[in-house]
């Protein structure tokens, strides 16, 4: 499994596991737990969740899935909602997430998206959680480059470990300024929805003849090529969601695919890099 090195020197898998909508349907619980455990066994020890997902159901399912494993082997990520990202509620939100996950700490806690609470207050609360040991690192999600410039002016901004945004072959807006900005600061980028499973941006990707040709050359699926493409720069962590053990194994194997320069040029011709700042994609 390829790795991404975070600011603290910890190596995390370049392909982890997302859990959006996981836990929503009780009849799928055992299947989803099995998929997560399969992912862990395949080296995808980074698991991403959030208090918003199923109003805590996803965190509870993750807590059950990780119970048999050595906690130090895992890298657990969760997120705090904007309305809870201040002095009145953040510590309580974090503690409730920890209870659902049945763990004493989070490896990474993310501010899910910006709300009305001043960013400076959110950052101070994140740092307090880190100082108390409830979280080991913190970061942000759904932030633009302008948001990151605002963050950079605040105390403790150097401790922002990762930024998580939507990113896939059909949504490359982060490449114009955000990803280069993060790389110069040693801040990891996390790609949610790297397989473009939702929204109109998925249209035309999985049936694209060039992607199908590249996939055939690697004896892979188009989805595996999409994951290999997403993590190609060594600073990006992709977090695809899978409720199937088969697809989970395929996601893990995608991390071993290296695309050639010519293949990357072929992809660029079909899905061009942006030549200007684009609005933040969220679905």
Task: Tell me which residues are annotated as active site.
Answer: 53
Length of the chain: 283
Q: Strand (E) positions, the chain? A: 3-5, 11-13, 46-48, 75-80, 108-111, 138-141, 160-166, 188-192, 236-238
Closest CA to 192 of 134, 122, 113: 113
- Reduced to 3 states (helix: H, G, I; strand: E, B; else coil), residue 111 is strand
Query: Using only C-alpha atoms, what is the Rg of the chain?
Result: 18
- Token code pair at residue 147: 């948001």
Phi, psi dihedrals of residue 170, rounded to the nearest 5°: -90, 0
Angle at the Cα of 39 from the Cα atoms of 37 and 42, rounded to 5 degrees: 115
Closest CA to 197 of 236, 171, 232: 171
The secondary structure of 36-101 as a DSSP string is HHHHHHTT--EEE--TTGGGGHHHHHHHHHHTTS-GGG-EEEEEE-GGGSSTTTHHHHHHHHHHHH
| Residue 267 CB burial class (10 angstroms; 0-12, 13-18, ≥19) | buried
| Residue 269 CB burial class (10 angstroms; 0-12, 13-18, ≥19) | exposed
């Amino acid at each position: 499994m390829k790795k991404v090195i975070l600011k603290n020197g910890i190596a995390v898998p370049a392909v982890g596991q997302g859990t959006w909508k996981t836990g929503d349907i009780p009849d799928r619980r055992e299947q989803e737990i099995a998929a997560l455990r399969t992912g862990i066994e395949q080296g995808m020890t980074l698991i991403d969740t959030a208090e918003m997902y199923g109003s805590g159901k996803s965190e509870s399912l993750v807590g059950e899935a990780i119970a048999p494993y050595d906690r130090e082997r895992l890298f657990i990520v969760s997120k705090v909602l904007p309305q809870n990202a201040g002095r009145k509620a953040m510590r309580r939100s974090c503690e409730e997430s920890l209870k659902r996950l049945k763990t004493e700490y989070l490896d990474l806690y993310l501010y899910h998206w910006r709300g009305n609470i001043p960013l400076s207050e959110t950052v101070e609360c994140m740092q307090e959680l880190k100082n108390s040991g409830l979280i080991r690192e913190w970061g942000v999600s759904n932030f633009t480059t302008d948001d990151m410039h605002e963050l950079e002016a605040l105390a403790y901004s150097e401790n922002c470990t990762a930024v998580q945004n939507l990113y896939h072959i059909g949504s490359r807006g982060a490449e114009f300024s955000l990803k280069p900005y993060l790389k110069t600061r040693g801040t990891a980028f996390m790609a949610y929805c790297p397989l473009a499973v939702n929204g109109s941006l998925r249209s035309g990707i999985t049936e694209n003849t060039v992607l199908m040709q590249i996939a055939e050359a690697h004896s892979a699926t188009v989805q595996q090529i999409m994951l290999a493409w997403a993590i190609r720069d060594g600073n990006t962590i992709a977090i695809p969601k899978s409720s199937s053990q088969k697809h989970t194994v395929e996601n893990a194997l995608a991390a071993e695919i290296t695309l050639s320069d010519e293949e990357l040029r072929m992809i660029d011709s079909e899905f061009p890099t942006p030549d200007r700042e684009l609005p933040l994609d969220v679905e």
